[in-house]
């Protein structure tokens, strides 16, 4: 078991006074068999009128906050978390024999449950560049499920150049592979799209990665693939790793936009710009 102390502060400064509509926060780490929240403290300025906690369909801890109708030019949100992780061996599972080869012939009930993770938004067609990459890897590994995931993870890690992009939506998967570059969230979207091309269910995970000893920390992202017999298993194409106890998950969803740490709108109309600054500290306890 590994214990981490995490302090994460995010601050928005607005070009003119604003009034906040309700904001959804996705900053409380999830708790499950691989990860437990030992303590969690949330501070918000200006102080919200009310805070409501809930658990969503993926087992994520979600926080909704709403504010008084007062004008302000600043929003600061800070979390202080102590969390333990215990996934020391990411290979500790027994894959169902019928899931060892791709495409997987899912039982009907399981296929229905996994549908959003197999298709993403509105059952969109698979990106042709991602489908081509999937076919190439499928041939290379002889259609074997676990070797496919390992090879895909390594292909993205070795062939794509990583860059930090703090804001903005994920890039289309075909563009990422064509340009061989992107942020961590771009690599995850590519990874999941390639997996969906061969019938593997995937979801996007936001969180923290504490493996490297550095003071320059950023919010991280990786993929989780559903493996019958093993459940959700994480793959980190940015680092070419299987997810283990140095990864601390915040939020997961089949839709990347639903994992952003802070989501909300302003009640104030007009051309308003904002500047975002953040600070992230991760220490082993």
Q: For the chain, how big is the Rg over CA atoms in Å? A: 20
For residue 92, is it within any domain?
no
Domain span at 77: 2-86+260-284
pLDDT tens digits for 30-40?
999 999 999 99
Nearest in space to 32 (alpha carbons), one of 11, 73, 61, 64 = 61
pTM: 0.93
pLDDT tens digits for 100-156?
999 999 999 999 999 999 986 445 688 999 999 999 999 999 999 999 999 999 999
246 versus 212: the higher-pLDDT residue is: 246
**81 shares its domain with 104:** no
What rounded mean pLDDT belongs to the chain?
93
What is the spatial distance between Cα 18 and Cα 4, in angstroms, rounded to a whole number?
36
What is the spatial distance between Cα 241 and Cα 110, in angstroms, rounded to a whole number?
27
Around 232, how many Cα atoms within 13 Å sit in the side-chain half-sphere? Answer: 20
pLDDT tens digits for 269-279?
778 888 999 99
What is the spatial distance between Cα 194 and Cα 103, in angstroms, rounded to a whole number?
12
For residue 145, is it within any domain?
yes
| Number of domains present in the structure of the chain | 2
**155 shares its domain with 244:** yes
**252 shares its domain with 266:** no
**272 shares its domain with 142:** no
* Residue listed under structure tokens 């309700």: 22
Residue 198 φ then ψ, to 5°: -110, 15
For residue 244, is it within any domain?
yes
Answer yes or no: are the C-beta atoms of 43 and 221 closer than 8 Å.
no
**238 shares its domain with 265:** no
**162 shares its domain with 191:** yes
**67 shares its domain with 139:** no
Distance of CA 50 to the CA centre of its chain: 27
For residue 91, is it within any domain?
no
**127 shares its domain with 114:** yes
**196 shares its domain with 250:** yes
What would the mean pLDDT of 64-85 be, rounded to a whole number?
Answer: 96
What is the spatial distance between Cα 90 and Cα 107, in angstroms, rounded to a whole number?
25
**34 shares its domain with 130:** no
122 versus 65: the higher-pLDDT residue is: 65
**160 shares its domain with 19:** no
**81 shares its domain with 155:** no
């Amino acid at each position: 078991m590994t214990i981490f102390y995490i302090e994460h502060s995010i601050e928005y400064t607005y070009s003119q006074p604003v009034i906040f509509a309700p904001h959804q926060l996705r900053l409380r780490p999830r708790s499950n068999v691989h990860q437990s929240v030992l303590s969690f403290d949330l501070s918000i300025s200006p102080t919200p009128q009310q805070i409501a906690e809930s658990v969503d369909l993926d087992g994520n801890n979600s926080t909704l906050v709403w504010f008084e109708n007062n004008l302000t030019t600043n929003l600061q949100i800070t979390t202080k978390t102590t969390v333990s992780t215990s996934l020391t061996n990411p290979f500790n599972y027994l894959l169902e024999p019928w899931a060892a080869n791709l495409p997987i012939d899912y039982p009907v009930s399981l296929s229905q449950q996994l549908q959003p993770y197999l298709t993403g938004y509105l059952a969109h067609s698979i990106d042709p560049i991602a489908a081509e990459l999937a076919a190439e890897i499928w041939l290379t590994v002889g259609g074997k499920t676990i070797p496919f995931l390992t090879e895909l993870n390594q292909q993205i890690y070795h062939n794509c150049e990583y860059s930090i992009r703090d804001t903005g939506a994920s890039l289309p998967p075909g563009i990422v592979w064509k340009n061989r570059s992107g942020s961590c969230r771009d690599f995850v979207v590519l990874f999941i799209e390639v997996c969906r091309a061969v019938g593997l269910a995937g979801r996007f995970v936001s969180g923290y990665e504490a493996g490297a000893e550095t003071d320059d920390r950023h919010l991280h992202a990786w993929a989780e693939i559903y493996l019958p017999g093993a459940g959700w298993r994480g793959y980190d194409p940015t680092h070419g790793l299987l997810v283990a106890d140095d990864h601390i998950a915040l939020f997961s969803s089949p839709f990347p936009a639903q994992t952003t740490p802070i989501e909300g709108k302003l009640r104030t109309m007009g051309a308003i710009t904002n500047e975002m600054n953040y600070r992230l500290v991760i220490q082993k306890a």
